[in-house]
């Protein structure tokens, strides 16, 4: 029943580009902002992701995964291409921190910058799990469906992501606190 | 492993607030929350509407029109485009020389003249990296090229290619590396790639596509010269802007095109001066000015390169090597070192230290491992380090960026699939001897 409902949703999003765009554009922009460290570049690239979606989503076959999983994959690939391309042009400037929102006033600016940099340096699949679970708030069952991994594997990735962040911060002389 | 999985599941419950924790889990949960917080911003309805409107403008014909109308419109558009192209060709044919290659080549003194060139290599984003000034002598008849590179007014490298032999004088280190061919160097002859010489050869082949433009208020032509296609569907093109009166080059840009993306310039070279010089005047230009430098011979594999063996080394075995290998420590940004491999070819040995898929450190001496050999065409970027040494960014054949630190005994190269120049530069600071 649930699978049938999911497939119906998949078909609906395939047929209605505007609904697809309205439903998922904001989270793709948030994801790309985290990957690229720039809200402006994220907006440009999100437009490219949806251009690709406009061309390709109607041709997708139902394989038990939502259209959103495909959008994230395309966004991740485009972000990687963009980062590579920028790196080839010029050395990247210090990544600008993502758009400020709900910042903890107790965090120092240095820590926030170090944290943004540390997040940026995580392996890309870890970044995706952090984003899906903690930014978008999907339960792990949904994260697993979108990433094509098991729930346990996704949970492990999040644990490792946390440890990597902590290690990176400690290298910068910043101690993670509870 | 089971304990780890239980811990990971517990972390999930802590993040959800279903369970309280202290110690490591509490610290990790707090850290992850803080890391994610800046990304939790709203994308307002107005912004979504605007982005959708922009998207509609890009897709309008296909969003609005039914398939049959689309087909008819497509046919009409194609017919219109063909007609417009014919009109352009017929009306502009008399104004634009059909073969501007000839006068452009003549402006450089013909296919085999000697040239002195001064170039200013600018970043495509102003201020992003220091401007390099390159002074070059190109003796096409004698098949000799020399380039001197200056950063912030200081000469950092002299490179000479003569009779297939390459000599590179690392000025801050007072060392000359000599190779029997470009293959003796990881970055190949990337810094010897002379955009002017490349342009001159393309003119001879007559493969340029030409259009009109203006540059700095001057009437100009743009010549587009295809360079190469890299394996990941990247096409590289050299675009040369030449003065429409003198036919001399003014600006050279290296442009990268990926399928589905807008073309992007990744190198911008202003030609400050290019002039033909008498052959006699360049006689003394092809000598390196390095009287007291230590000379080190590099080798190029003769014949076909064959891999003889590949074996894993333990850290104990790796520590016993002399001179010591350079690595990034037991782990790098949380990724432990995962393998140390010794690779032997018929022409030399290299060591590869991997940190999972994150980053790989190569240590090599006489022979450049094929995996980090440079793409043939894209110029290298030279960056001086604080300690006076020179690091060199170049593009490997698969398009990835490599950072190379050339040394008299062993050279080091860093490469990471997701790493750009800045990240590689950051990793370079962590290099240390494996003792």
The CA distance from B415 to the nearest CA of chain A, in Å, is 12
Task: Give the nearest chain A residue to B47 (CA atoms).
Answer: A26
Pairing of strands B348-355, B331-332: unpaired
CA B372-B378-B380 angle, to 5 degrees, is: 70
Edge-to-edge strand list for the sheet holding B132-139: B209-215, B218-230, B234-243, B249-258, B264-277, B114-122, B132-139, B144-151, B154-162, B165-170, B175-179, B294-297
Backbone φ, ψ for residue B131 (5° rounding) = -75, 135
B-chain residues within 8 Å CB-CB of A33? 39, 41
Torsion from C-alpha of B374, B375, B377, B383, nearest 10 degrees: -40
Task: Give the nearest chain A residue to B333 (CA atoms).
Answer: A168
Q: Do B326 and B433 meet the contact criterion of CB atoms below 8 Å apart?
A: yes
Give one DSSP letter per residue of B77-96, joined into a string: HHHHHHHHHHHHHHHHTTTS
Give one DSSP letter per residue of B291-325, joined into a string: TT-EEEE-----S---EEEEEE--HHHHHT-SSPP
- Cross-chain Cβ contact B128/A93 below 8 Å: yes
Give one DSSP letter per residue of B380-425, joined into a string: PEEEE-TTS-EEEEEEBTTS-EEEEE--SS-EEEEE-TT--HHHHH
A-chain residues within 8 Å CB-CB of B28? 159, 162-163, 166, 176
Residues of chain A short of pLDDT 50, as ranges, are 1, 89-107
pLDDT per residue rounded down to tens, chain B (435 residues): 678 888 898 888 888 777 877 788 888 888 898 888 888 888 888 788 888 877 776 665 444 444 444 454 455 444 444 444 433 333 333 333 446 777 888 888 776 778 888 888 876 666 555 677 888 888 877 778 888 888 777 788 888 887 777 888 888 778 788 776 666 666 556 555 567 777 877 787 776 778 888 888 888 888 888 765 555 556 777 889 988 878 888 998 877 776 667 777 767 888 888 877 776 666 667 777 776 766 766 655 555 678 889 999 999 999 999 889 999 999 998 889 999 999 998 878 899 999 998 899 999 887 778 888 765 455 566 776 656 667 777 777 666 778 888 776 788 999 987 777 777 878 888 899 998
Q: What is the pLDDT of residue A75?
A: 94
pTM: 0.46
Structure-token pair, residue A105: 């006033």
Q: Do B261 and A48 meet the contact criterion of CB atoms below 8 Å apart?
A: yes
Q: What is the pLDDT of residue B73?
A: 46
Say which residues have a Cβ less than 8 Å from residue B178's Cβ, sequence separation at least 6: B165, B166, B167, B168, B295, B296, B297, B298
- The secondary structure of residue A132, as a DSSP letter, is I
Task: Give the nearest chain A residue to B9 (CA atoms).
Answer: A155
Pick B41's closest partner by Cβ from A30, A43, A87: A30
- Cross-chain Cβ contact A155/B260 below 8 Å: no
3-state helix, strand, coil in chain A (%, to 5): 75, 0, 25
* ipTM of the prediction: 0.85
- The secondary structure of residue B278, as a DSSP letter, is -
CA distance B135 to B160: 12
What distance lies between CA B78 and its chain's CA centroid? 38
Find the radius of gyration of the CA atoms of chain B: 27
A contact test, residue of B51, B331, B334 with most A CBs within 10 A: B334
Backbone φ, ψ for residue B239 (5° rounding) = -115, 125
Say which residues have a Cβ less than 8 Å from residue A137's Cβ, sequence separation at least 6: none
- Cross-chain Cβ contact B51/A171 below 8 Å: no
Backbone φ, ψ for residue B211 (5° rounding) = -145, 170
Q: What is the pLDDT of residue B199?
A: 80
The CA distance from A7 to the nearest CA of chain B, in Å, is 23
If one counts every other C-beta atom within 10 angstroms of the C-beta of residue B42, the result is 10
Say which residues have a Cβ less than 8 Å from residue A48's Cβ, sequence separation at least 6: A78, B260, B261
- Cross-chain Cβ contact A176/B30 below 8 Å: yes
Q: What is the pLDDT of residue B213?
A: 86
The CA distance from A8 to the nearest CA of chain B, in Å, is 22
Task: Give the nearest chain B residue to A32 (CA atoms).
Answer: B39
A-chain residues within 8 Å CB-CB of B50? none
């Amino acid at each position: 029943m649930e699978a049938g409902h999911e497939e119906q949703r998949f078909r609906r999003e395939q047929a209605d580009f505007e609904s697809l765009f309205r439903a998922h554009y904001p989270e793709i922009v948030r994801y790309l902002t985290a990957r690229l460290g720039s809200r402006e570049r994220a907006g440009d690239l999100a437009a490219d992701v949806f251009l690709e979606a406009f061309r390709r989503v109607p041709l997708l076959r139902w394989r038990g995964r939502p259209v959103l999983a495909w959008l994230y994959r395309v966004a991740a690939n485009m972000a990687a291409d963009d980062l590579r391309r920028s790196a080839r042009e010029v050395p990247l400037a210090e990544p600008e921190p993502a758009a400020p929102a709900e910042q903890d006033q107790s965090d120092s600016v240095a820590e926030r910058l170090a944290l943004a940099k540390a997040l940026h340096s995580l392996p890309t699949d870890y970044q995706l799990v952090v984003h899906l679970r903690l930014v978008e708030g999907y339960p792990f069952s949904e994260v697993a469906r979108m990433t094509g991994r098991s729930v346990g594997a996704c949970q492990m990735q999040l644990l490792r992501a946390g440890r990597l962040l902590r290690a990176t911060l400690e290298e910068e002389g910043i101690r993670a606190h509870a | 492993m089971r304990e780890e999985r239980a811990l990971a599941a517990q972390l999930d419950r802590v993040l959800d607030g279903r369970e309280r924790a202290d110690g490591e889990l509490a610290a990790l949960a707090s850290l992850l929350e803080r890391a994610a917080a800046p990304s939790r911003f709203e994308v307002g309805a107005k912004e979504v509407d605007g982005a959708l409107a922009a998207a509609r403008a890009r897709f309008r014909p296909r969003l609005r029109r039914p398939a049959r109308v689309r087909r008819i419109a497509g046919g009409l558009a194609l017919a219109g485009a063909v007609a417009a192209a014919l009109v352009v060709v017929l009306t502009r044919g008399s104004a634009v020389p059909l073969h501007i290659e000839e006068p452009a080549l003549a402006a450089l003194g013909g296919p085999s003249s000697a040239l002195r060139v001064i170039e200013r290599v600018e970043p495509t984003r102003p201020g992003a990296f220091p401007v390099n000034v390159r002074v070059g002598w190109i003796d096409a008849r004698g098949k000799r090229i020399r380039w001197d590179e200056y950063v912030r007014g200081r000469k950092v490298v002299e490179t000479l290619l003569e009779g297939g032999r390459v000599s590179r004088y690392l000025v801050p280190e007072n060392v000359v590396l000599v190779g029997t061919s470009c293959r003796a160097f990881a970055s190949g002859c990337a810094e010897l790639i002379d955009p002017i010489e490349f342009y001159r050869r393309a003119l001879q082949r007559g493969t340029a596509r030409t259009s009109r433009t203006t540059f700095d208020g001057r009437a100009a032509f743009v010549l587009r010269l295809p360079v190469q296609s890299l394996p990941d569907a990247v096409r590289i093109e050299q675009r040369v802007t030449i003065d429409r009166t003198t036919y001399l080059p003014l600006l050279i840009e290296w442009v990268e095109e990926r399928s589905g993306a807008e073309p992007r310039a990744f190198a911008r070279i202003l030609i400050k001066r290019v002039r033909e010089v008498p052959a006699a005047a360049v006689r003394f230009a092809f000598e390196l000015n390095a009287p007291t430098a230590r000379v080190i011979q590099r080798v190029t594999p003769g014949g076909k390169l064959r891999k003889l063996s590949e074996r894993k080394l333990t850290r104990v075995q790796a520590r016993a090597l002399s001179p010591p290998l350079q690595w990034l420590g037991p782990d790098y940004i949380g990724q432990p070192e995962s393998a140390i491999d010794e690779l032997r070819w018929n022409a030399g040995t290299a060591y590869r230290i991997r940190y999972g898929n994150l980053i790989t450190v190569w240590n090599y001496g006489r022979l450049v491992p094929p995996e980090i050999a440079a793409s043939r065409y894209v110029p290298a970027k030279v960056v001086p380090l604080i300690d006076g040494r020179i690091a060199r960014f170049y593009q490997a054949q698969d398009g990835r960026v490599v950072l190379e630190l050339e040394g008299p005994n062993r050279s080091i190269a860093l490469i990471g699939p997701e790493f750009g120049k800045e990240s590689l530069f950051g990793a370079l600071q962590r290099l240390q001897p494996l003792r």
